[in-house]
Structures are given as structure tokens and as C-alpha cells.
Structure 1
Amino acid sequence: MRYQLFRDDDHSQRVAESDEFQSEFKATEWARAWVKTNGDHDRYRFQQVDGGRPMLLLKTVAGQWYVMPLAEQVAA
């Protein structure tokens, strides 16, 4: 599975695309590592290239990154 990472703002610009991952856990680890080193915003979302459930990556005031699944109606 390949994943895309988007800056979660009004523009929703794609900022990165992953290599193949066999599990969502590995993709989540990749996304978290990417935003820690390259992130210039406090909200990103990622999902499979062919669709699927999107996930929100959110940076707290303390600098920690959390990953949360988004509800289907919010993602649309």
C-alpha cells in the first residue's frame, strides 16, 4: 500500500508520498517521522493513494505528534 501525506489546511497540498508499506502501522510511523523532520505546519492528514480512511496528524503545543482516524463524513 502506498500513502500520501497532505498539509491539512485550506489548500490540502500533497507534501509527500510513501513507498510500499505492508501495514497501516508502518505507514503511520513513516508519516510521523516525516512530519517530525519536515513539518512546517501543525496539522497534516494521510491516507492510501487509492482512498481509504484518512488519518489526522496533529501537533500539540508541547510538540508531540498524535495520529487520529477521521470519521468518513469529516473526510468528505
Structure 2
Amino acid sequence: MEIVAAAALGKFIGAGLAAIGSGAAAIGVGNVAGNFLAGALRNPSAAGSQTATLFIGLAFAEALGIFAFLVALLLMFAV
């Protein structure tokens, strides 16, 4: 019975570690948005042409967070 409890505990520890990626994605989104804002404030005329790059960077950062969330869910509920 103890082995089953240890395996369940291991699943939750692994899911918690995988969920750290969601926090890292939030930090990445903050960096992307902050750097865009800093560049836009330095050169407002170039900000319009960099908006597409901003959204691509935000999408990549959020995708990593979503993947980490999915891995955490798989570790918790699979098997």
C-alpha cells in the first residue's frame, strides 16, 4: 500500500514541477511586452512596424506555458 501512495505523491510532485513552466511563461511575456514598450517609447514612429513581432513573441512565450500546463495535467491524470 505504501508503494501506491509514493507513486501518487510522485505524480503530484512532477506535476508541480511541470507547472513551474507556466510561471516562466509569465515572466517571458512580461519581458517581451516590456522590451517592446521600451523600444516604442524610444522610437514611437517604428512601433507600428514592430507590432507583428510583438504578437509573435507573445504567442511563443504563451505556447510554452500552455505546453507546461498540459504536461502537468498529463502527469496528474494519466495512468
TM-score calculated relative to the size of structure 1: 0.26
Task: Indicate the structure with greater helix content.
Answer: 2
Task: Indicate the structure with greater strand content.
Answer: 1
TM-score calculated relative to the size of structure 2: 0.25
Greater RCO (CA < 8 Å, at least 6 residues apart):
2
